[in-house]
Amino acid sequence: MKMRVFCAELVKMNAIWAVKPDVTLRGVPVYKGLLKPAAQKSLVMALRNVVQAAPLYTPVVASGKAMSVRMTSAGRFGWFSDRSGYRYLAEHPSGTPWPGIPPQLLKLWHQLTGLTREPDCCLINFYSEGAKMGLHQDRDEADFSWPVLSLSLGDDGLFRVGNTSRSGKTESLWLSSGDVVLLQGDKRLVWHGVDRIRYQSSGLLPAGGRINVTLRVVA
Ligand code: SIN
Ligand code: FE2
């Protein structure tokens, strides 16, 4: 408990590099329950506004297969995929601008990374019952020296991490609502994915499901 208070002070000082993560998964830091329940609730409300302005869509991969996760984004760029492949778009596929990134997420980004640079993209992934995400690298951004911050909300998700190459050992950990993962430094390009969710394990979203938001510097 004492340690958590001490850490909160360091977070305020923008010196998260000095804060020990609660767990590491193959060297990837995981901050358990960093976002408290009240903050999770208000963030969900902010994300509802984002989804209202920029509706969730089902990305399709180059093979033509639909992903089970639905997505949308906030920020200057949004991540998109169709038969032509993965890319960032400056507008929602409907042609409307992406909404702004909720301020509480920007605050979390600055506090946890210590960076003054803002993220360009807040990708919102929505996992309903049965949704999952195969192992992949986040490598559609221009400069991998910027971190990716990932926050989980709602139902638990089994997060799997491998290596910076496709092969080799992988390990998994259940991410719960409020948990934050940072992909940075020599772990920025690790292969990762979500094997499954525990549908309705959390009461945060009335209809169940898991939200994952990632903050990224794109351009
Ligand atoms: C992602 O890799 O884009 C999502 C990871 C997660 O849902 O935790
Ligand atoms: Fe990813």
| End-to-end Cα spacing for the chain | 40
The percent of residues above 90 in pLDDT, for the chain, comes to: 90
Number of domains present in the structure of the chain: 1
User: How far apart are alpha carbons 211 and 130 in whole angstroms?
Assistant: 13
Q: Is the pLDDT of residue 1 over 80?
A: no
Residue 166 confidence class, pLDDT cut points 50, 70, 90: very high
Residue 93 domain-assigned (yes or no): no
- Which residues lie closer than 8 Å to 107 by C-beta, 6 or more apart? none
Tell how far the Cα of 134 is from the centroid of ligand 1, in angstroms.
9
Q: 116 in a domain, yes or no?
A: yes
Nearest partner of 34 among 21, 24, 44, 47, judged by Cα: 21
The stretch 81-100 carries a mean pLDDT of 95
87 falls within a domain: no
Q: Is 160 in the pocket of ligand 1 (CB under 6 A)?
A: no
In a domain, 178, yes or no: yes
- Ligand 1 atom, smallest distance to 214 CA: 3
Model pTM score: 0.91
For residue 119, the enclosing domain spans 22-56+103-216
Neighbours of ion ligand 2 (CB under 5 A): 138
- Whether residue 193 is contained in a domain is answered as yes
- CATH number, domain at 164? 2.60.120.590
Q: Residue 163's pLDDT is what?
A: 98
How many helices (H) and strands (E) would you count in the chain?
A: 3, 13
Q: Which secondary-structure segment (H or E) carries 122?
A: strand 121-127
The rounded distance, in Å, linking the Cα atoms of 78 and 203 is 28
Q: For 38-59, write each residue's pLDDT tens digit.
A: 999 999 999 999 999 999 999 9
Q: Is 72 in the pocket of ligand 1 (CB under 6 A)?
A: no
The answer to whether residue 2 scores a pLDDT higher than 90 is no
Per-residue pLDDT of 104-143, as tens digits, reads 999 999 999 999 999 999 999 999 999 999 999 999 999 9
CB–CB of 184/193 below 8 Å?
no
Is 2 among the domain residues? no
Q: Which atom of ligand 1 is nearest to the CA of 157?
A: 8
- Tokens representing 164 are 């910076």
95 falls within a domain: no
Best probe residue, ligand 1, of 192, 196, 213, 215 (max atoms within 8 Å of C-beta):
192
Q: Which residue has the higher pLDDT, 127 or 13?
A: 127
84 within domain boundaries: no
Q: Cβ distance 160 to 172 under 8 Å?
A: yes
Q: What is the dihedral of CA 160, 208, 179, 78, to 10 degrees?
A: 80
